[in-house]
Amino acid sequence: MITNQDIREQIIKELELGGLPSEAQDEIISKLAENLLKKIAIVMLDKLPEDKRGEFEALANAGDTGQVYAFLQAHIPDASALIQAELQGSIAEIKQINDRAKI
C-alpha cells in the first residue's frame, strides 16, 4: 500500500526539496497533493465500474485513505501502478516547469 508518507518522501526526493525548511516542504507538498488527488480521482473514476462510483465518492469524501486504497485495489486491477504513474507524471510536469523557469 502506498502511504501518504511514501508519497511525501518521494516528492521531497524527486523535486530535491530536502534542503528546504519543513514548513516550506509542507506547503509545497500540500499544494501538490491536492492537485494529485484530483487527478487520481478522475483516473480512478474512469476505471471504476459505473455501479461502484458512488461508493468510491462516499469513501473519498469520508477521508479515510486506507479504506479508499483498499476499495480501489479491490475494484481496479493495478490500482497501485496507476497511482504511482499519476504521481510520477505530476512530478515530471513540475520538473519540466522548473527547468523552463531556470532558462
Task: Convert the pLDDT of each residue in 10-50 to its tens digit.
Answer: 888 888 888 999 998 888 888 887 788 788 888 888 999 99
Task: Convert the pLDDT of each residue in 74-87 to its tens digit.
Answer: 999 888 898 889 88
Contact 36, 8 (CB under 8 A): no
Q: Please tell me the distance from the alpha carbon of residue 42 to that of residue 80, in angstroms, as a whole number.
A: 15
How many Cα neighbours within 13 Å face the side chain of 87?
Answer: 21
**Residue 41, all three cell numbers:** 480521482
pTM across the whole model: 0.71
